[in-house]
Amino acid sequence: MNTQRIVITGGPGTGKSSIINALLQRGKTCYEEVSRQVTLEARKSGVEQLFLTDPLLFSNLLLKARTDQFLDAKTETVNQIFYDRGLPDVLAYMDFVNSAYPENFTSVCEQHVYDHIFILAPWKDIFVSDNERYENFEQAEQIHQQLIKTYKRFGYELLDIPFGTVSERTDFILNHTKL
């Protein structure tokens, strides 16, 4: 089966997780964001914000978890799989904080290719900071630009998801990925 791999990306607080939850409610196969899990695990070890403390370690853990998601998806027998962020997001965040990363970060992104990339722009009306999200709205806008740049670097065409209700945004994605 030729399964479509569909990434939903965007800066922090843009509504990605809400859309993933809506897709799950509609019976779609989704792989949820792993950065919150990595952050919470680090907190158990006494590190409040692992990405800010050790961006390379944090990014290595994310890269591994997202690669595992990509590989695990090969066992799925569905037409579409949706991801809350993709592998290039790791590089975009590293570039955002101007942190170097090893060559294998790039090669992993080149070896694991997605079919569709949807991006959500920063939206002040829904942006909320929380315990795992350290970025402010201005930083979310900068991350958005870095995500665009990084995905384009790997040859992806990004499709902007318009502002709207979660249902409208979910419909937009499904209408643009019909088989």
CATH code at 4-175: 3.40.50.300
pTM over the 0.85 mark? yes
Whole-angstrom distance, CA of residue 17 vs CA of residue 21: 6
Q: How many CB atoms lie within 10 A of CB 77?
A: 7
Q: Sorting pLDDT into bands at 50, 70 and 90, what band is 168?
A: very high
Q: What's the confidence (pLDDT) of residue 1? A: 62
Length of the chain in terms of residues written: 179
Q: Is 6 a residue whose pLDDT tops 90?
A: yes
Q: What's the confidence (pLDDT) of residue 55? A: 81
Dihedral over alpha carbons 96, 34, 18, 31 (to 10 degrees): 120
Above pLDDT 90, what percent of the chain?
64
Give φ, ψ of 145 to 5 degrees.
-65, -40
Whole-angstrom distance, CA of residue 67 vs CA of residue 50: 20
Q: Which two tokens stand for residue 71?
A: 């590989």
Q: Alpha helix (H) ranges present in the chain? A: 16-25, 35-44, 50-53, 55-72, 87-96, 103-111, 137-153, 166-175
Q: What's the confidence (pLDDT) of residue 12? A: 87
Beta bridge partners of 116: 6
The string of pLDDT tens digits covering residues 35-80 is: 878 777 877 877 667 766 788 888 888 999 999 999 999 899 999 9
